[in-house]
Structure 1
């Protein structure tokens, strides 16, 4: 039995499930609003929610696509008993998660989110080129027009002034200095790039796509500012073997076996930007005919 933990409306998960269904492989898709109770039956542990029920030893592989396995905790009216109950349930939950992670998995619940600053340090240890970066509370050391800023966290979406849309924090070029101090911010050297590369990594294999974003002012600094009227050209791309080997080493250092990885090419140099274990890849898979959703289904 394959266990898939995902968001309710995630299209990528649905596409992978289509292949699993065609292969007649049994699976359970757990949504982010689903809570499980841990129970036992004849010395076997099983999980129960309003939608699903399965024995822990029935699961052969797990895909942590989005979200996490959530648990419903039981309690009594007596607070002194609840302290013991909470601790016991914590270790039961920990056992369930560790047991699932010991099976064949695509990533793990415990490392589904990565720290970008730590990732950049590990990328340098793996021998990958990383644009120079620093943290600062002011722009005193910032060189205008040759420095960019981006979020330290994963993709940030803010409530927009326009109630009909959200506001995404994109990579931006620093065009003028600030007079006042501010909260700690991530700054990075602006690299003049030939094009961007999005790679999908799965268990030692890498599929890459060149994104020709530089000829469009809207996508020049950050290709996520999609131009839907005139989309960027996307073509299959082969990274140098040395870069793929260093990427494989990096994923090992991060204890990840799957993720979307961003590079930029400038002249003969490839720069590593970031890795997202939960990154989107379906659009690039379609554009390059990679059938990555089939690769995932076969791996599971």
Structure 2
């Protein structure tokens, strides 16, 4: 039995499920709105939610797409007993998650979020070119128009930035000084690029796409500012073998067997930007006709 952990209506998950159905494989889809009770039936751990019911030892492979296993904890009326119960249930939940991650898997719930600062340090040790970066709480020493700022975490979406509108933090060029100090933020050297590269990595294989975002002022700094009227050109791209070797080495250091990596090509230099273990890769599959959904289904 294959266990898939995902969000509701994730299109990438749906595409992989279509292949699993075509291959006549049994699977269980767990969305992020489910809460599982832990039970025991004939000495076997049973996990049961309002939608799914399965034994832990039935699961042979796991795909952590997004979301994750969530548990409904048992509570007594006596609060002091619950302190002990919470600890006991924590370790039981930990056992279940670790057991699932010991199965054949694509990604893990425990390392689905990576520390960008550590990743950049590991990337430099692996031999990648990385644009110069630093942390600052003011713009006193920042070189205007030659420095960008971006989130220190992953893709940040701000709910309700105004009435009926959400916001996203894009990569932005620093064009003017700030008068006041602010919370510690991430800054990086602005690289004049030929094009960007999104690489999907799966168990030692790299599938890359060149994104010609610099041809459009709207997407020049951050290709995620999609221009629906004039989309960027996206084509298959073959990274040099030495870059693919470094990708595999970095992913092994990070204990990741799947993820999306971003690069910038400037002249003869490939600059590493970041890796997202659960990043979007459907665009790489669609634009470049890579069989990524089937490859995940086959591996599971």
* TM-score, with structure 2 as normaliser: 0.98
The answer for the alignment partner of 2:179 in structure 1 is 179
Q: Deviations over 1:58-106 (max 9, x none)?
A: 1011011011100010011122322221111111101100100111111
Kindly indicate whether residue 126 of structure 2 is the aligned counterpart of residue 126 of structure 1: yes
Deviations 1:195-228 (A, max 9, x none): 0000000111100000011111111011000000
Q: Distance in 2 between matches of 1:239 and 1:203?
A: 16
Runs of 4+ in 1 over 4 A off after TM superposition: none
Alpha-carbon contact 2:200-2:284 (below 8 Å) kept: no
- Whole-Å separation in 1 of the counterparts to 2:23 and 2:94: 32
What is aligned with 1:94?
A: 94
Matched, 1:53 2:53: yes
Q: Which runs of 5+ in 1 are unaligned?
A: none
Distance change in 2, residues 1:48/1:159 (3 Å): closer
Aligned to 1:30: 30
2:247 counterpart of 1:251: no
Deviation at residue 165 of structure 1 after TM alignment: 3.5
What secondary structure, in the 3-state scheme, does the structure 1 residue paired with 2:36 have? strand
Residue 14 of structure 1 aligns to a residue in which SS? helix
Residue 107 (structure 1) shift: 1.1
**How far apart, in 1, do the equivalents of 2:85 and 2:213 lie?**
55
Root-mean-square deviation (CA, aligned residues, Å) is 1.0
- Which residue pairs with 1:40 in the alignment? 40
Structure 2 residue matching 1:217: 3-state secondary structure: coil
Q: Which residue matches 2:155?
A: 155
Following superposition, the deviation at residue 161 of structure 1 comes to 5.1
Moved more, 143-152 or 161-170: 161-170
What is the rounded CA distance, in whole Å, between the counterparts of 1:163 and 1:236 in structure 2? 40
The Cα shift of 1:36 comes to 0.6
Distance 1:214 1:121 in 2: 27
Aligned length: 300
- 1:299 corresponds to: 299
What is the rounded CA distance, in whole Å, between the counterparts of 2:161 and 2:90 in structure 1?
41
Distance between the aligned counterparts of 2:101 and 2:18, measured in 1? 24
Q: d(CA) in 2 for partners of 1:122 and 1:92?
A: 33
- What is the CA distance between 1:135 and its match in structure 2? 0.1
User: 1:1-300 alignment to 2 at 5 Å?
Assistant: 1-159=1-159, 163-300=163-300
Shift of 1:296: 0.8
- Whether the 8 Å CA contact 2:135–2:185 is kept in 1: the answer is yes
